Structure formats: C-alpha cells, structure tokens
Structure 1
Amino acid sequence: MPRLLHYSDIENVYDDPTRAGRLAGCVRGLDGEDAVVCGTGDTTSPGVLALVERGRQSLDFFRAVSADVDTFGNHDFDYGPEATRGVVADSPQTWVSANVFEESGERFAAGHVVPHTVREVNGVRVGFVGVTDPATPSLNPMAATLRFSDPYAAAAESVAALRAESVDHVVALSHLGGGDDELAERVDADVILGGHVHSERHEYVDGTLLLRPGANGHVVFEVELEGDGENRPTATRHETADAPVYEPLAESLRGRVEAAELDEVVAVTDGPLDRTEETVFGGECAVGNFVADAYRWAMDADVGLQNSGGIRNGPALDGEVTVADLVSVIPFEEHVVVAELTGEELRSVLRECAAATVDFGEPDWWQGHLSGVELVWDDDRAEIVSARVGGDPIIADRTYAVATSDYVLHTDHEFPTIEARHRAAEGDIQYEVLADYARAVGVRSETDGRIERVSGVAADD
C-alpha cells in the first residue's frame, strides 16, 4: 500500500539544527520502499541560514530525507529565480509545477521542473501535480519576472493527463493556502497536500483528503492512499518534537550557522519577547512594537508600520540578543523605506491592519504593528474608534511620513492603500535597522497600549 510523508513551510527550521535533525529523523523513521517523501513549498526559505546560503542549506535536508517530490512556495523565490534554479538543479527530488513560467513563457526551470509526474510504488501508480499561489509576484517581489497561470486550470489539465496514463491515485502538491477548497472542488484528486497557510488542517472536502502540516517542521503527515474500508486515503499526524535527531544533518547545519558569524550581542532584553503566531497576529505585542519603533527611529518618520506576516515565528527574544536573532525575526533583504501618505490614506492603512486582505491569513488576525500611533479599533463594528499620531488627531489633508518595508509598496495583498508612488526615501535593510536600534535604544519586552481592540464603542474622531 503506498504511503506519502508530507512536510511543508519548514522555513526557519534550518536555524535550529537540532529541530531540523528531529524533522529529518521523523521522516527517515517513517520512510520505506512503500513511501513517497513530499514537500509542498517554502521548503528552502526564509530564515537566517537561508539568507546567508541563498536557500542552498535546504539541499542538506533534501538529501537527508531522500526527498521525492516538491512544489514551489512563494518564499522559494526569495533570492530570485536564478538562485531557485540552482537549488532545483542540485536537488534530489523531482520539482513538480504546473503553473509557474519564465517571463518568456517557457516552463520555469525547464528540464528540471515538470507539470506532473508518476511514481510507481509496490505496483501502484501514483500521479503528482504541483501548483503555486498565482499571487506570488505580489507576495514576493523577487518573483516579479515570473508568470503564474491559473492554478485550477493548470492542475485540471495535468490531472486529466495523469488519469489518461491510468494512474491509480492522483495527489496534488499545493501551495495555494485558502485556495485548496476550490482545488478540491474543481480537480479530480484523491489527496491535496497543502501548505502556505501555517495553521494545520486535516479533513475531507468533496471526498478529497486535504492536509496541511503547519509551519517550521513541527508536524509530518503520513498518508495511506488506500487507508480505510471505503478505500479512502487516511492520514496520521506525527509530531517531530520527540523524534530522534538525525545527527549528520544537525552537524552539517551547525557548521553552516557558525560560519555565518552573526553572533554579535547587540542588546539584552528586560524580559522575553514572544513571537508565536498567536501573539504576532493577536494585536499589539512587544516584538511588533520593537520592529515598528526601529523603523520610525531609523527614518525619523511620523509612523512606523510592520506587517504581521513579515515577523517570523521562532523562539522568544530573551536575554542576550544577537544579530542572528534579529535576522531570524525578519529574514528578508528588504529595505526600510518612507512612504508619504495623506491623513485620509493613513486612516485607510490603519483599517487594513485589521482586514483579512491576504489569502493565507485567518479572518481574525491582526495584520499590522505600529509606532507613533495610538489606535482604538472596534472588532465588532470593524471601524476605527480613535486614531492619533504623536498624540494629535489625524488631519485628512496633512502628509505623514510612514516608515515601513519596501515589500509593502510592491504588494497589493497587504496594506493595498500604500503603493510604489508613495515612496519618498530608502534606508538600510530591515535587520540592519533592527540591530542599529537595539544597540542604540535596547529591546524592551512590555507593551504600552498603542493598539487597543474593543467591542461596540462609538467613534470619537
């Protein structure tokens, strides 16, 4: 009976060699001649080591687990298409992608990437198709030169080709996030192995088994393609925390981390700054305040703004804080920039802090962290109760300088009010700004009430 071993969005697992070793140990312990090892995107980046190695540290992991098939996530293009092509060419697995193309219209990395593939396992033919979120160029400016076609039409075409080859099962490797439901409705797949959204999922949609293991290598799903009495696929969830460490991988990654030389201590915290998903997307938090304050300080702006999704999950900042710790908070090579907005536009941006404008988020996630702003937001009414900058009400026709990531000016998925035309100045790379601020000002663990979420309160401005 064929089995699938599924991981996804492992992202910064490489920055913790022991955790990466446990993930590999879990996969290796479950592997066998009847198993296909599957990834579903964001398996090369982001993270501290990924930034230093341009994603090539992932090759150590792929070889350790004998990866079989993978598809692309938006972060797999963090260092540009050429870097991705290099990783793909040197990977042991088959990269499967039906909807990613070069600017010329040719399939991305033609010769190394296929729209679909077939694996025969113990006499059973299993077909795989891969699809990626078509919004990737907006989510990741480094992918701006690539073209992403309709994933549902592309998947349907590949699935039809696989069914014509008389496969016994069809598996979709998906980095569509919230689009997996539509994929299940429109494509004749037995299993959708999903990613992109960092929350776990394990359910049947229109008879299709739909899975997401969450982020950062904490869970591996084991799928039995002929698992129950109704001949439906079934899945077993395996946590990696207690898995044996595969030491060859852990040792290799430790060597890479040490060689990065990012161990300078820039500050000592007065308490832990949590950066779990629940905290970062829950509203005001210390790590969000720290980042937004650093941006405003560095650019001498009226307002600092950080998108919640740009703050990566990981261990709390606690005690000595190194440059590597700050890279791990925001492991992207994006500059901090100043956007000049009218007061009316700024109020729109503040509304977008609470809007689920991204398809990889949950409806109640808080999407923005602020500096220089006092905001009271009514969750029930979905409206601003009050908003002040520097203690004063926002004036509609006044111009405000907002320090934020260059990414925000390019994407239309987060803070769509801010556009490239608003760009007024450019500063250093984000983590460099954080390090400079930490050296000069420090890293504080408390919040100050700058964002207050209430229910049923009338607006006063």
Structure 2
Amino acid sequence: MRRCLASLLGFVLALVVGWAREVPITILHTTDLHGNILTANDAEPTGGLARCATVIRQVRATEKNVLLVDAGDTIQGSAASWLSGGLVMLKAMNSLHYDAWVLGNHEFDWGLEKLTNCILAATMPVLAANLDGLAKVRPYVVREVDGVKVGIVGVTTPGIPNWSRPRLIPWLRFADSLETLRKVLPACRREGAQVLVLVAHQGYKESGDDHANQIRALARQFPELDVIIGAHTHRHFPEFRIGAVLYTQADFHGRRLGRVDLVFDTDKQRVVSKRSCTVLMDDSVSADPSVMELAREDLEREKKHLATVLGEAAEDFSTRGAPRKETPIHNLICEAIAEALQQRGVKVDAVIHGLLNLRTGLSKGPITMRDIWHLIPYENTVGVVRLTAGELREILEENVGAYDKHEFRGMWGVFWRFDPRAPEGRRVLEIRWPNGAPVNETERLRVAFNSYELASGGLRWKKLREIADRPETSLQEFDLETREAVAEYVRRHGVIHPVVRRWWQTEIARR
C-alpha cells in the first residue's frame, strides 16, 4: 500500500511539474496625454496617442499576453479635446481596447458633467480606488491573461481638492492612498489576483512624498506590489526600483510609450522576472491611420479654431524678466480679466495673476487663438473676493515668499512695494491706489484671482485659500475662463499695445 501511495504521489508531482510553466505578461502604458492625439509640440514632432497606437499594435502582433492601461490626465490640454469635451480621446482609447483608465487631477478641470460624459463613453474600466462619489468608477479590475489573473488597482492623486475649487468636485471625497490600499489589495486578492499592478496618478519625487504623491510610502508599505506605474509629475523613469517594487513612468504627452514585461511562474505562484522600458515616439514612428481617421473631424475643427485671427499686436509682447518683473503679458492677462468682469457687471480694484508660460510672449503681427492657448494652457476660471487692506497684505506676504520661484505673481490695479529679503510678516511695505493715496485699512477691495490659486494652487497659497473661504470676503466664482477673457479682450480691442505700468517695486531694485 505504501508503495502504491508513494507511486501515486510521485505521479501527481510529475503532473504538477509538467503543468508548471512560466507565463510572460506585457503591460503597455500611457500617461499624461493631455488631449494630444498627434503632436504635443508644434516645433518638435514627438508624441501623441496616434503614434503610441502604432507601437501598441506592433507589440500586440508579436507578444501573446498584452495589457494596456492609461495613468490619467488624459483629456485636458489640447484644443481638439477641449472642443469635444474630451470625447475625442475616449474614441481613440476605445478603439485601442484599453484595459483600464485611471483618473488624473486634470480630468476634473471641466467639472463633473463633462467628466461623467467621458466616463460613460469609456468602454474600459475607469479606476480610482481612493475616490468616492463618482458613478462607474471602480477601485480595481482583474484581467485573466493566459490563465494568470492580473489585478490592476488604480489610485488618483489625493491632492485634487488643493487644485480644484469645491464647485468642480462638490460631493466627491478623495482618500489617502495608503489607507485605501490597506482595504483594496486584500479584496483584489480575494478575487483571485495573482499579479498586483498599481497604476497611480502620482509620481516618484527624489525630495520625498508630498500631499499629492505618495509613491515612496506605497512601495515601502506594500512590497507585495509587483509593479507601480506612475504619472502626474511628467517625469521619465524607464526602470527604477523602490525596494523590491518595480517603478516606471512614461514621460508625458505620449512622448514615450511605457512597457513592463513580467514573467509569472505557475509553480511558484509569483512573478519571477520583471523589467521595464519606454519607447520614444519621435517622427520615425508614424501615426496610426485608424486613430487619425477617428479623430479627423476633431483635428480639423481644432486646426480651424487655432488659426482664428483675433487681432494684432502692435509690437512684441515680451516675458523678459518674468516672473519677478512686470511684463506686457502680465498686464494683458490682468486687464483682460478685469475688463471681462466689468462686461459682466463686476468692477474690480485689482487682479493678482502670474504667467502660466514664462517662455511664451506675443510677436508683432496677427494674434491667433493658437497664441492665446500658448499663453493660457489651462481652463482656470475667475473668482472675486472682497478683501480688507490687512487681508490683502497677508495674501501678498505669502506671494512674496515665492519671489525666487516661478509661482510668484504680480498685481495689477493697485501699486505695491515690498522687500523679499525682509523677515516674514514685514515684507510688504506699501499698498497704494493708482492716485498715490494709501489704501485705507478699513475699506474692502474687490480682487480677482484664478480658480486654481483660490483652491490654494496645490498648497502653495494656503493663506489665500483660507481667506477666500471666509464668509466675510464674499467670494464670487464665475464661469469665465481666463483664456476666454484674454481672447475676448484681443478681439474687442483689435490692435493691442505692450505696456508696463510699474505696478510693483522691490527694495532690492532701489538699493
């Protein structure tokens, strides 16, 4: 009997060994496409989903087990996507049969109605495990590949409430990624996931994790993750290790297609090999014809929109010296916001705004919508708060703290003088009306900001957010995009002239 049992056991073990095999799994990934079907940069023919699509099809033709995911910030950023409400991107992604789409922070820029339309149009699972309150968004999906179950878990950045005003995300709740994964990973395992892939709209930062990016902590607290596919920070990590966890990030605008290659051993029941790389999408990669045909009408509409002539620049509008020094572009943006608000029945005393593209001005001659898109690449809207001189001083003090950074913003409509080297709390020296009179400490000024800064600009402007949320400042938010305000201004005036009015002075310049 013992010999029979031993023989039977040996036979069973031989069968198990015979069945054991190594299963290769390839995961392709895109991220931070920002609405780019074809070209992300007019001067550099690199990137775009249509080029990525060509390589995606090539890999699928040569590899047996291929999954495809997108890590977010997919719809916002191009005129074609904006004009279609993001749907041109979903048409293209649907045609490529993505296995998952993880939401990024810029997906919320246009409000929940347009985002919901995109989610409803998506044929792939839409993931964000740390988001609650949005229908049809799941924490994870389990895909079976050649007999192996791959769990794809998605998390968005928890920093979204620090960039988006509550009116854009009224009932949504964004949870800490670590707390979320403690609940979600066991649930994913219970559904049979043998391989764990985290797709995060967050990025690795050498300086450490912050309110929006928790990659280091995620990798260290969840070493059972086989790979983390990152996003958000527009960085390029072909292959990087955080302990035992493989980390990779595929740049932005479709400039690179990411590839992860795993090998799962069915005997050992684990991944025994993992590596990653990225593939450059330069002009040697042709655009996929089927994606281009799907997007043809949207791209033609974009071309016509961007070529629209709005007016003329009498001279060059330079950004030289920005952001510390006032520039003609600064005055153009601020005057456009003030005038657009006045057209809507609201007169403001001041506008505080920075330059969104420090390298781009306007050249003498015709001004097109393409020029305005280069100046204003985001769909931020405008809000107005009623501030006492003391509250304005607090906001300006916070702003002067960023004097040596690109986030520094100028003020239009009221003169101010400051010393960026003075102790905190004493850097703003003087605030005066245009007629030279000091601003009375008891009167309230109507001051306009953009919505991103009113939301704290990613915790850069916490004091501004705190003051704007006070009931007594009577915040009014408008469905007026800053890009729309500038386009209206140029169209209304026809010919515009560059001006510098010396709205601010520093003690450094006077010494």
Quickly name the TM-score band, shorter chain normalised. Answer: 0.7 to 0.9
**One-letter code of the match for 1:219?**
R
| Alpha-carbon spacing, 1:377–1:293, altered in 2? closer, same or farther (3 Å) | farther
Measured in 2, the distance between the counterparts of 1:453 and 1:237 equals: 46
CA displacement 1:70-112 (0-9 Å, x = unmatched): 111122233433433332233232222212222xxxxx324xx
**Following TM superposition, by how much is the alpha carbon of 1:195 offset from its aligned partner in structure 2, in angstroms?**
2.0
**One-letter code of the match for 2:447?**
V
| Alpha-carbon spacing, 1:25–1:149, altered in 2? closer, same or farther (3 Å) | same
Measured in 1, the distance between the counterparts of 2:39 and 2:498 equals: 23
| Alpha-carbon spacing, 1:218–1:381, altered in 2? closer, same or farther (3 Å) | farther
2:426 counterpart of 1:400:
no
CA displacement 1:106-164 (0-9 Å, x = unmatched): xx324xx3321222334443211111223424423422222223322222222223344
**Following TM superposition, by how much is the alpha carbon of 1:54 offset from its aligned partner in structure 2, in angstroms?**
1.7
| Alpha-carbon spacing, 1:432–1:166, altered in 2? closer, same or farther (3 Å) | closer
Residue aligned with 2:27, SS: strand
| Candidates 253, 258, 266, aligned match of 2:300 | 258
**One-letter code of the match for 1:292?**
C
2:230 counterpart of 1:194:
yes
Residue 33 of structure 1 contacts residue 121 of structure 1 at CA under 8 Å; is this kept in 2? no
| Candidates 415, 419, 428, aligned match of 2:468 | 419
2:337 counterpart of 1:337:
no
Measured in 1, the distance between the counterparts of 2:110 and 2:30 equals: 22
| Candidates 174, 183, 205, aligned match of 2:200 | 174
CA displacement 1:309-359 (0-9 Å, x = unmatched): xx4799875554323543565466654333222233223323444668xxx
Residue 393 of structure 2 contacts residue 428 of structure 2 at CA under 8 Å; is this kept in 1? no
Number of residue pairs matched by the alignment: 438
- Residue in structure 2 matched with residue 215 of structure 1 by the alignment: 252
Matches within 5 A, 1:107-146: 108-110=134-136, 113-140=137-164, 141-146=167-172
- Residue in structure 1 matched with residue 20 of structure 2 by the alignment: none
| Candidates 462, 469, 485, aligned match of 1:433 | 485
Residue aligned with 2:76, SS: coil
| Alpha-carbon spacing, 1:15–1:444, altered in 2? closer, same or farther (3 Å) | farther
Unmatched segments (≥5 aa) in structure 2: 1-23, 203-211, 265-270, 342-346
Measured in 2, the distance between the counterparts of 1:411 and 1:66 equals: 37
| Candidates 240, 245, 254, aligned match of 2:281 | 240
| Alpha-carbon spacing, 1:443–1:161, altered in 2? closer, same or farther (3 Å) | farther
Q: Which moved more, 1:155-164 or 1:394-403?
A: 394-403
- Residue in structure 2 matched with residue 157 of structure 1 by the alignment: 183
| Alpha-carbon spacing, 1:401–1:149, altered in 2? closer, same or farther (3 Å) | same
Measured in 1, the distance between the counterparts of 2:55 and 2:410 equals: 36
**Following TM superposition, by how much is the alpha carbon of 1:15 offset from its aligned partner in structure 2, in angstroms?**
8.2
| Alpha-carbon spacing, 1:247–1:134, altered in 2? closer, same or farther (3 Å) | same
Is the radius of gyration larger for structure 1 or structure 2? Answer: 2
CA displacement 1:225-282 (0-9 Å, x = unmatched): 359xx9563322322233222233334434224346634311344448789xxx9989
| Candidates 220, 228, 237, aligned match of 1:185 | 220
| Alpha-carbon spacing, 1:120–1:290, altered in 2? closer, same or farther (3 Å) | farther
**Following TM superposition, by how much is the alpha carbon of 1:53 offset from its aligned partner in structure 2, in angstroms?**
1.6
| Alpha-carbon spacing, 1:94–1:386, altered in 2? closer, same or farther (3 Å) | same
**One-letter code of the match for 1:402?**
V
**Following TM superposition, by how much is the alpha carbon of 1:432 offset from its aligned partner in structure 2, in angstroms?**
2.5
Measured in 1, the distance between the counterparts of 2:421 and 2:38 equals: 36
Residue aligned with 2:171, SS: coil
CA RMSD in angstroms, aligned pairs only? 4.2
| Candidates 51, 54, 63, aligned match of 1:25 | 54
TM-score by length of 1: 0.77
Residue aligned with 1:157, SS: helix
**One-letter code of the match for 2:486?**
L
- Residue in structure 2 matched with residue 359 of structure 1 by the alignment: none
**Following TM superposition, by how much is the alpha carbon of 1:369 offset from its aligned partner in structure 2, in angstroms?**
4.8
Residue aligned with 1:338, SS: strand
CA displacement 1:1-52 (0-9 Å, x = unmatched): 2222222121142485885333433444444433322111111224423332
**One-letter code of the match for 1:25?**
T
Residue aligned with 1:341, SS: strand
**One-letter code of the match for 1:193?**
I
| Alpha-carbon spacing, 1:184–1:446, altered in 2? closer, same or farther (3 Å) | farther
Q: Which moved more, 1:329-338 or 1:174-183?
A: 329-338
Residue aligned with 1:13, SS: coil
Residue 416 of structure 2 contacts residue 428 of structure 2 at CA under 8 Å; is this kept in 1? no
- Residue in structure 1 matched with residue 111 of structure 2 by the alignment: 80
Residue 433 of structure 2 contacts residue 439 of structure 2 at CA under 8 Å; is this kept in 1? no
Residue aligned with 1:196, SS: coil
Residue 290 of structure 1 contacts residue 444 of structure 1 at CA under 8 Å; is this kept in 2? no
Measured in 2, the distance between the counterparts of 1:84 and 1:174 equals: 19
2:301 counterpart of 1:291:
no
Measured in 1, the distance between the counterparts of 2:150 and 2:358 equals: 34
| Alpha-carbon spacing, 1:143–1:266, altered in 2? closer, same or farther (3 Å) | same
Residue aligned with 2:36, SS: helix
**One-letter code of the match for 1:65?**
L
Residue aligned with 2:64, SS: coil
Q: Percent identity?
A: 23
Unmatched segments (≥5 aa) in structure 1: 103-107, 357-362
**One-letter code of the match for 1:266?**
L
| Candidates 74, 90, 96, aligned match of 1:65 | 96
| Alpha-carbon spacing, 1:377–1:115, altered in 2? closer, same or farther (3 Å) | farther
Measured in 1, the distance between the counterparts of 2:273 and 2:421 equals: 41
